[in-house]
Chain A
Amino acid sequence: DVKVTQSSRYLVKRTGEKVFLECVQDMDHENMFWYRQDPGLGLRLIYFSYDVKMKEKGDIPEGYSVSREKKERFSLILESASTNQTSMYLCASSLRGNSGANVLTFGAGSRLTVL
Protein backbone atom coordinates (compact mmCIF):
# COMPACT_ATOMS: atom_id res chain seq x y z
CA ASP A 1 0.00 0.00 0.00
CA VAL A 2 1.05 3.55 -0.67
CA LYS A 3 1.95 5.37 2.44
CA VAL A 4 1.80 9.11 2.67
CA THR A 5 3.29 10.35 5.90
CA GLN A 6 2.80 13.79 7.38
CA SER A 7 5.33 14.17 10.13
CA SER A 8 3.48 16.74 12.23
CA ARG A 9 -0.07 15.80 13.25
CA TYR A 10 -0.69 18.81 15.48
CA LEU A 11 1.07 22.18 15.46
CA VAL A 12 0.47 25.41 17.35
CA LYS A 13 2.21 28.49 16.00
CA ARG A 14 2.08 32.22 16.57
CA THR A 15 1.07 34.86 14.05
CA GLY A 16 4.01 35.81 11.86
CA GLU A 17 5.97 32.61 12.40
CA LYS A 18 7.30 30.63 9.44
CA VAL A 19 5.75 27.17 9.30
CA PHE A 20 6.92 24.08 7.45
CA LEU A 21 4.61 21.12 6.85
CA GLU A 22 6.39 18.03 5.57
CA CYS A 23 4.98 15.17 3.51
CA VAL A 24 6.76 12.01 2.38
CA GLN A 25 5.40 9.22 0.17
CA ASP A 26 7.07 5.86 -0.30
CA MET A 27 5.64 4.52 -3.56
CA ASP A 28 7.49 6.51 -6.19
CA HIS A 29 4.47 8.62 -7.15
CA GLU A 30 5.15 11.51 -9.50
CA ASN A 31 2.26 13.77 -8.46
CA MET A 32 1.91 15.31 -5.03
CA PHE A 33 -0.71 17.67 -3.69
CA TRP A 34 -1.45 19.91 -0.72
CA TYR A 35 -5.08 20.45 0.23
CA ARG A 36 -6.65 22.52 2.97
CA GLN A 37 -9.78 21.20 4.75
CA ASP A 38 -12.26 23.52 6.47
CA PRO A 39 -15.74 22.71 7.82
CA GLY A 40 -18.44 23.32 5.26
CA LEU A 41 -15.93 23.97 2.50
CA GLY A 42 -14.61 20.48 1.87
CA LEU A 43 -11.05 20.22 0.60
CA ARG A 44 -9.45 22.92 -1.51
CA LEU A 45 -6.23 22.54 -3.51
CA ILE A 46 -3.38 24.83 -2.47
CA TYR A 47 -0.48 23.64 -4.65
CA PHE A 48 0.54 20.55 -6.54
CA SER A 49 3.67 19.17 -8.14
CA TYR A 50 3.98 16.75 -11.06
CA ASP A 51 7.76 16.33 -10.91
CA VAL A 52 10.81 17.22 -8.87
CA LYS A 53 11.28 21.00 -8.69
CA MET A 54 8.01 21.53 -10.57
CA LYS A 55 5.12 23.26 -8.82
CA GLU A 56 1.80 24.65 -9.90
CA LYS A 57 -0.69 26.84 -8.08
CA GLY A 58 -3.98 25.33 -7.10
CA ASP A 59 -7.18 27.13 -6.22
CA ILE A 60 -6.05 28.94 -3.05
CA PRO A 61 -2.26 29.50 -3.21
CA GLU A 62 -2.15 32.92 -1.55
CA GLY A 63 -0.02 32.96 1.57
CA TYR A 64 1.60 29.60 0.80
CA SER A 65 4.61 28.27 -1.07
CA VAL A 66 5.93 24.76 -1.68
CA SER A 67 9.18 22.94 -2.25
CA ARG A 68 9.88 19.66 -3.99
CA GLU A 69 13.59 18.92 -4.01
CA LYS A 70 13.19 15.13 -3.96
CA LYS A 71 10.57 12.97 -5.61
CA GLU A 72 9.28 11.52 -2.35
CA ARG A 73 9.04 14.78 -0.39
CA PHE A 74 6.70 17.74 -0.79
CA SER A 75 6.79 20.59 1.70
CA LEU A 76 4.21 23.29 2.32
CA ILE A 77 5.52 26.59 3.65
CA LEU A 78 3.65 29.37 5.36
CA GLU A 79 6.07 32.31 5.17
CA SER A 80 4.23 34.34 7.81
CA ALA A 81 1.43 32.45 9.47
CA SER A 82 -1.88 34.20 10.04
CA THR A 83 -4.90 33.20 12.10
CA ASN A 84 -6.96 32.56 8.96
CA GLN A 85 -4.54 29.77 8.09
CA THR A 86 -5.71 27.76 11.08
CA SER A 87 -6.92 24.60 9.38
CA MET A 88 -6.35 20.93 8.63
CA TYR A 89 -3.77 20.37 5.89
CA LEU A 90 -3.81 17.16 3.87
CA CYS A 91 -1.07 15.89 1.59
CA ALA A 92 -1.79 13.43 -1.22
CA SER A 93 0.05 11.65 -4.00
CA SER A 94 -0.82 9.86 -7.24
CA LEU A 95 0.75 8.25 -10.26
CA ARG A 96 2.00 10.29 -13.22
CA GLY A 97 -0.29 11.29 -16.00
CA ASN A 98 -3.66 12.80 -16.57
CA SER A 99 -5.83 9.72 -16.35
CA GLY A 100 -8.93 10.73 -14.50
CA ALA A 101 -9.00 7.33 -12.90
CA ASN A 102 -5.76 7.93 -10.99
CA VAL A 103 -6.49 7.63 -7.30
CA LEU A 104 -5.15 10.16 -4.82
CA THR A 105 -3.78 8.61 -1.64
CA PHE A 106 -3.92 10.89 1.39
CA GLY A 107 -1.87 11.31 4.51
CA ALA A 108 -3.42 11.53 7.98
CA GLY A 109 -3.35 15.32 7.99
CA SER A 110 -1.65 18.10 9.94
CA ARG A 111 -3.87 20.22 12.13
CA LEU A 112 -2.40 23.71 12.41
CA THR A 113 -3.54 26.30 14.92
CA VAL A 114 -2.22 29.85 14.55
CA LEU A 115 -2.63 32.03 17.64
Chain B
Amino acid sequence: AQSVTQLGSHVSVSEGALVLLRCNYSSSVPPYLFWYVQYPNQGLQLLLKYTSAATLVKGINGFEAEFKKSETSFHLTKPSAHMSDAAEYFCAVSVPIQGAQKLVFGQGTRLTINP
Protein backbone atom coordinates (compact mmCIF):
# COMPACT_ATOMS: atom_id res chain seq x y z
CA ALA B 1 0.00 0.00 0.00
CA GLN B 2 1.17 3.49 -0.75
CA SER B 3 2.03 5.60 2.28
CA VAL B 4 4.21 8.43 3.53
CA THR B 5 6.11 8.87 6.76
CA GLN B 6 7.15 12.23 8.13
CA LEU B 7 10.16 12.11 10.41
CA GLY B 8 9.77 14.46 13.34
CA SER B 9 6.43 15.67 14.62
CA HIS B 10 8.00 18.95 15.73
CA VAL B 11 10.83 20.94 14.16
CA SER B 12 12.16 24.17 15.58
CA VAL B 13 14.56 26.51 13.73
CA SER B 14 15.79 30.04 14.16
CA GLU B 15 14.62 32.82 11.88
CA GLY B 16 16.94 32.92 8.86
CA ALA B 17 18.07 29.30 9.27
CA LEU B 18 17.55 26.45 6.85
CA VAL B 19 14.24 24.61 7.07
CA LEU B 20 14.32 20.86 6.39
CA LEU B 21 11.17 18.76 6.80
CA ARG B 22 11.55 15.07 6.04
CA CYS B 23 9.16 12.82 4.15
CA ASN B 24 9.70 9.25 2.97
CA TYR B 25 7.25 7.42 0.78
CA SER B 26 6.35 3.83 0.07
CA SER B 27 4.98 3.05 -3.36
CA SER B 28 5.22 0.20 -5.86
CA VAL B 29 4.57 2.57 -8.77
CA PRO B 30 5.97 6.02 -9.60
CA PRO B 31 4.26 8.23 -7.05
CA TYR B 32 2.60 11.58 -7.22
CA LEU B 33 3.68 13.46 -4.09
CA PHE B 34 2.44 16.64 -2.45
CA TRP B 35 3.32 19.01 0.35
CA TYR B 36 0.53 20.99 2.00
CA VAL B 37 0.75 23.66 4.71
CA GLN B 38 -1.83 24.42 7.37
CA TYR B 39 -1.70 27.76 9.16
CA PRO B 40 -3.48 28.05 12.52
CA ASN B 41 -7.26 27.77 12.27
CA GLN B 42 -7.14 27.30 8.51
CA GLY B 43 -7.52 24.51 5.99
CA LEU B 44 -4.71 22.97 3.97
CA GLN B 45 -2.99 24.93 1.22
CA LEU B 46 -0.94 23.33 -1.54
CA LEU B 47 2.78 24.17 -1.34
CA LEU B 48 4.01 22.04 -4.24
CA LYS B 49 3.55 18.75 -6.05
CA TYR B 50 5.75 16.19 -7.80
CA THR B 51 4.36 14.66 -10.97
CA SER B 52 7.57 13.19 -12.48
CA ALA B 53 8.30 16.17 -14.76
CA ALA B 54 11.34 17.26 -12.73
CA THR B 55 12.95 15.92 -9.58
CA LEU B 56 13.41 19.38 -8.03
CA VAL B 57 10.06 21.03 -7.51
CA LYS B 58 9.65 24.67 -6.58
CA GLY B 59 6.60 25.78 -4.66
CA ILE B 60 5.14 28.86 -3.11
CA ASN B 61 6.73 31.01 -0.39
CA GLY B 62 10.30 29.97 -1.31
CA PHE B 63 9.84 26.27 -0.53
CA GLU B 64 11.15 23.47 -2.71
CA ALA B 65 11.34 19.69 -2.55
CA GLU B 66 13.56 17.13 -4.22
CA PHE B 67 12.31 13.72 -5.30
CA LYS B 68 14.97 11.06 -4.69
CA LYS B 69 13.90 7.66 -5.92
CA SER B 70 16.97 5.88 -4.53
CA GLU B 71 16.15 7.16 -1.05
CA THR B 72 12.34 7.08 -1.47
CA SER B 73 12.33 10.60 -0.11
CA PHE B 74 10.63 13.90 -0.87
CA HIS B 75 12.05 16.31 1.71
CA LEU B 76 10.86 19.91 1.89
CA THR B 77 13.39 22.73 2.25
CA LYS B 78 13.59 26.49 2.48
CA PRO B 79 16.96 28.26 2.63
CA SER B 80 15.96 30.93 5.13
CA ALA B 81 13.09 30.60 7.59
CA HIS B 82 10.69 33.43 8.20
CA MET B 83 8.41 33.89 11.19
CA SER B 84 5.43 33.54 8.88
CA ASP B 85 6.49 29.96 8.04
CA ALA B 86 5.31 28.74 11.44
CA ALA B 87 2.62 26.20 10.61
CA GLU B 88 1.94 22.48 10.28
CA TYR B 89 3.22 20.77 7.15
CA PHE B 90 1.83 17.60 5.61
CA CYS B 91 3.37 15.31 3.04
CA ALA B 92 0.94 13.21 0.97
CA VAL B 93 0.90 10.59 -1.78
CA SER B 94 -1.87 10.21 -4.35
CA VAL B 95 -3.56 6.79 -4.41
CA PRO B 96 -6.13 5.60 -7.00
CA ILE B 97 -9.62 4.82 -5.72
CA GLN B 98 -12.99 4.24 -7.36
CA GLY B 99 -13.15 6.80 -10.16
CA ALA B 100 -10.83 9.23 -8.43
CA GLN B 101 -7.60 9.74 -6.54
CA LYS B 102 -7.32 10.19 -2.79
CA LEU B 103 -4.46 11.65 -0.82
CA VAL B 104 -2.85 9.58 1.92
CA PHE B 105 -1.19 11.91 4.42
CA GLY B 106 1.71 11.66 6.76
CA GLN B 107 1.33 12.48 10.43
CA GLY B 108 2.32 16.10 9.98
CA THR B 109 5.27 18.19 11.20
CA ARG B 110 4.74 21.31 13.25
CA LEU B 111 7.34 23.96 12.39
CA THR B 112 8.23 26.55 15.01
CA ILE B 113 10.37 29.57 14.15
CA ASN B 114 12.43 31.13 16.94
CA PRO B 115 13.21 34.85 16.73
Contact = CB atoms under 8 A, between A and B. Distances in A.
A106 B103 CA distance: 12
Nearest to A100: B32
Interface residues of A, number: 33
Q: Is the interface of B mostly helix, strand, loop or mixed?
A: strand
Interface in A60-115: 90, 92, 94, 96-109
A31 interface: yes
Interface stretch (B63-71, B78-86, B92-100): B92-100
B107 to A, nearest CB: 5
Given A58-B102, A102-B101, A108 B46 contact: no
A45 B3 CA distance: 13
Nearest to B104: A45
A16 to B, nearest CB: 28
Interface residues of B, number: 28
B107 A40 contact: yes
B97 A109 contact: no
B44 A106 contact: yes
B100 A42 contact: no
A43 interface: yes
Interface string B7-42: 001000000000000000000000110101000011
B72 interface: no
Contact of B43 (A42, A48, A107): A107
Contacts of A41: 107
Nearest to A102: B101
Interface of B: 9, 31-32, 34, 36, 41-46, 49, 51, 90, 94, 96-108
Interface of A: 4, 30-31, 33, 40-45, 48, 50-51, 54, 56, 58, 90, 92, 94, 96-109
